[in-house]
């Protein structure tokens, strides 16, 4: 999560800061009919990103992300009807909801402008569905159900390629035991275990986290060892049930379509230790698929502070939480080769899927693409240079090209030994999922990319 790749780190000069401030003062941004004051130091959302805010693929009929969400909600609710579902939260949240309420430290890289889309200094596009945990924990009493599931679009500044898109979808799941009754947790676990035993898919589970010492993934002081053990089992078995169901449906559809010789007859998963600021202990679950471990979901036992923030009484409650990525699992289940296809409005895409079933995507003819390189010298550490992060370059391309960009890759990096100046060359692949693009169109986009690089980051084109 939140990788940091800096391509040049040079301080912003005071004069530049002042100039930006006066030109951008009193500008406003409207998202979902609400207007926010922008902030010259923080605002980095772009019109291209804002145009995704109401697409809601997780609710779009016959869409793979919607089909997967529905499948998981139904399976989890089939155990003991314990979950309220929330699928309509707006993506604009406060820094408090996204970070502080979850105990993110002030210097956590996830807070940086290179990773997160800020509307202004206090408002951003959620980077994960955990941003709504506090609000939903607060509502548990009024719903009468001890758990909730939240599905939503989330936003992260990231690289550009076939598996990365700045908007993707997560499902958050949380389950609460308010009175810490061991009998109740045991009986809930029994019901769940029965459901798992009855499932036609038998998982081969490796739990690497059990090998570790408690210091490496500590429990919380207020909980007993027995409570941690039972609640962890409930969390892990819940996610194993989800994976059994989803991948079993995939294997059944492969058998029906007979389109592959490599139909697996068993499914391997493994639990590994993880770290999240608001859970401990924490884990991730990975699935062995196509000869590789696929990271599917992060989870853990919720830190008491989050429950206190949501208004619970001290030491009264135990809870687990998970956050699952929907897009990559959907791509794998439906065999969708490029993440941008999920956003396609082309009827040849959406007409291939039907709510309630998993089937293999049949590629239709791809429109021809076009490649351009942009090579430049980074500004040296003289007065007018400013910091540029690789994600800033990605954002410039994304803003100029929208969904017409397939990938952006660094193909050459060179440092002149005499001048010490660094030159970078990025290759941009332009290609549309839905139509032909013309050379003129690509040239214009490329020109815009170059102009913005020079204007904003003072590079010299080569
Ligand atoms: C989180 O976002 C945590 N909020 C998950 C969590 C929730 C932990 C509750 C503990 C308790 P992470 O950044 O690892 O964690 O993302 C969670 C899942 O989202 C990943 O396992 C992956 O399946 C998916 N995901 C993450 N980044 C991307 C991306 N760029 N594109 C597509 N899917 C992604
Ligand atoms: Mg992760």
The residue out of 350, 385, 418 marking a domain boundary is 350
Which atom of ligand 1 is nearest to 295's Cα? 21
Span from the CA of 420 to the centroid of ligand 2 (angstroms): 37
Q: Which residue(s) pair with 93 in the sheet?
A: 124
Nearest partner of 430 among 410, 450, 404, judged by Cα: 404
Both tokens of 459, joined, read 């590079």
335 in the same domain as 392: no
Do 267 and 401 belong together in one domain?
A: no
Residue nearest to atom 18 of ligand 1 (CA): 325
Residue pLDDT, tens place only, 290-322: 888 999 999 999 999 999 999 999 999 999 999
Neighbours of 140 (CB within 10 A): 22
Q: CATH no. for residue 410?
A: 3.30.70.380
Does 12 reside within a domain? no
Token pair, residue 315, equals 């030491």
Note the pLDDT of residue 110.
Answer: 93
Contact 67, 342 (CB under 8 A): no
In a domain, 78, yes or no: yes
Tell me which H or E stretch contains 398. Answer: helix 390-401
Closest ligand 1 atom, residue 323 Cα: 7
- Whether residue 333 is found in the same domain as residue 393: no
Give the model's pLDDT for residue 160.
Answer: 86
274 lies in the same domain as 201: yes
In a domain, 324, yes or no: yes
Q: Are residues 376 and 227 in the same domain?
A: no
Helix or strand or coil: residue 176?
Answer: strand
Q: Mark whether 215 and 143 lie in a shared domain.
A: yes
Distance (angstroms) between ligand 2 centre and the Cα of 293 equals 13
- Residue 5: predicted pLDDT: 32
Share of the chain above pLDDT 70, in %: 93
What total of structural domains would you count in the chain?
Answer: 2
Q: Do 390 and 272 lie in a common domain?
A: no
pLDDT tens digits, 350-391: 999 999 999 999 988 778 899 999 999 988 765 555 678 889
pTM: 0.86
198/241 same-domain check:
yes
- Containing 292, the helix (H) or strand (E) segment is strand 292-302
Would you say 155 and 126 are in contact if contact means Cβ atoms under 8 Å apart? yes
Dig out the tokens for 328 from the structure: 């990559």
Residue 419 within a domain: yes
Ligand 1: residue of 305, 325, 394 to mutate (most ligand atoms within 8 A of CB) is 325
Residue 91 · residue 152 · CB < 8 Å = yes
| Phi/psi at 122 (5° precision) | -110, 0
Q: In what order do the strands lie in the sheet with 405-415?
A: 405-415, 422-430, 370-377, 460-461
Q: Given 302, 318, 350, which residue is the final one in a domain?
A: 350
Query: Is pLDDT at 9 greater than 70 in this prediction?
Result: no
* Residue of minimum CA distance from atom 12 in ligand 1: 1
**Full residue range of the structural domain in which residue 193 is found:** 17-350
Q: Is residue 59 part of a domain?
A: yes
pLDDT tens digits, one per residue of 125-149 = 999 999 999 999 999 999 999 999 9
Write the pLDDT tens digit of every residue in 412-460. 998 889 888 889 999 999 998 888 899 999 999 999 999 999 998 889 9
Tokens 């998963």 correspond to 269
For ligand 1, what atom is nearest to the CA of residue 130? 4
Q: Which atom in ligand 1 lies closest to the alpha carbon of residue 156?
A: 30
The string of pLDDT tens digits covering residues 246-292 is 999 999 999 988 766 778 888 999 999 999 999 999 999 999 988 88
Domain boundary among 350, 385, 404: 350
Clarify whether residues 133 and 190 are in a common domain: yes
pLDDT digits (tens, 9 = 90+) for 215-241: 889 999 999 999 999 999 999 999 999
> What DSSP string runs through 94-145?
EHHHHTGGGT--TT-GGGSTTTS-EEETTEEE-SSGGGGHHHHHHHHHHHT-
CA gap 375, 424 in Å, rounded: 6
Reported in sequence order, the residue ranges of 106-158 that DSSP labels E, i.e. its strands, are 118-120, 123-125, 147-155
Do 269 and 396 reside in the same domain of the chain?
no
Quote the pLDDT of residue 184: 97
Kindly state whether residue 357 falls inside one of the protein's structural domains: no
- CATH number, domain of 324, equals 3.30.930.10
Tell how far the Cα of 324 is from the centroid of ligand 1, in angstroms: 6
Domain membership of residue 375 (yes or no) is yes
Q: Is the pLDDT of residue 103 over 70?
A: yes
Same domain, 241 and 376: no
Q: Which of 170, 284, 339 to mutate to test the pocket of ligand 1 (most atoms within 8 A of CB)?
A: 170
Q: Ligand 2 centre from 300 Cα, in Å?
A: 12
Domain membership of residue 232 (yes or no) is yes
User: Which protein residues touch ligand 1 with a CB less than 6 Å away?
Assistant: 1, 128, 130, 156, 158, 164, 168, 170, 172, 276, 279, 295-300, 321-323, 325, 327-328
Judge if 382 and 337 occupy the same domain.
Answer: no
């Amino acid at each position: 999560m939140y990788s940091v790749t800096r391509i040049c780190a040079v301080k912003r000069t005071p004069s530049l800061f002042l100039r930006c401030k006066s030109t951008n003062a009193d500008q406003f941004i409207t998202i979902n009919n609400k207007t926010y004051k922008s902030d010259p130091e923080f605002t980095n959302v772009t019109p291209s990103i804002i145009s995704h805010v109401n697409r809601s693929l997780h609710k779009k009929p016959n869409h793979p992300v919607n089909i997967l969400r529905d499948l998981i909600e139904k399976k989890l609710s089939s155990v003991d009807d314990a979950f309220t579902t929330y699928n309509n939260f707006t993506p604009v949240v406060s820094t408090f909801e996204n970070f502080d309420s979850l105990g993110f430290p002030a210097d956590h890289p996830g807070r940086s402008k290179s990773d997160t889309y800020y509307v202004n200094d206090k408002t951003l596009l959620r980077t994960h569905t955990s941003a709504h945990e506090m609000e939903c924990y607060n509502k548990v009493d009024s719903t009468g159900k001890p758990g909730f599931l939240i599905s939503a679009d989330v936003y992260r500044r990231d690289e550009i390629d076939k598996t990365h898109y700045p908007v993707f979808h997560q499902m958050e799941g949380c389950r609460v035991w308010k009175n810490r009754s061991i009998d109740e947790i045991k009986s809930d676990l029994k019901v769940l275990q029965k459901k798992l035993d009855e499932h036609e898919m038998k998982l081969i589970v490796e739990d690497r986290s059990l090998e570790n010492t408690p210091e490496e993934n500590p429990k919380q002081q207020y909980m007993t060892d027995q409570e941690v053990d039972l609640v962890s089992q409930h969390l892990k078995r819940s996610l194993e049930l989800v994976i059994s169901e989803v991948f079993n449906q995939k294997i059944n559809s492969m058998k029906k379509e007979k389109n592959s010789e490599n139909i697996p007859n068993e499914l391997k998963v493994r639990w590994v230790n993880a770290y999240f600021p608001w859970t401990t202990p924490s884990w991730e679950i990975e699935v062995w698929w196509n000869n590789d471990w696929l990271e599917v979901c992060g989870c853990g036992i919720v830190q008491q502070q989050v429950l206190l923030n949501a208004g619970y009484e001290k030491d009264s409650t135990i809870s687990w939480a998970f956050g699952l990525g929907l897009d990559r699992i959907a791509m794998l289940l439906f065999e969708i080769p490029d993440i941008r296809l999920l956003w396609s409005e082309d009827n040849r895409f959406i007409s291939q899927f039907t709510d309630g079933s998993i089937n293999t995507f049949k590629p239709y003819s791809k429109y021809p693409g076009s490649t351009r390189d942009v090579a430049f010298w980074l500004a040296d550490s003289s007065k007018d240079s400013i910091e540029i992060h690789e994600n800033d370059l990605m954002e410039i391309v994304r803003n100029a090209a929208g969904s017409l960009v397939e990938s952006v890759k660094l193909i050459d990096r060179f440092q002149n030994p005499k001048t010490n100046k660094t030159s970078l060359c990025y290759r941009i692949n332009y290609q549309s999922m839905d139509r032909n693009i013309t050379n003129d169109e690509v040239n214009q986009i490329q020109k815009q990319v170059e102009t913005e690089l020079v204007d904003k980051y003072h590079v010299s084109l080569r």
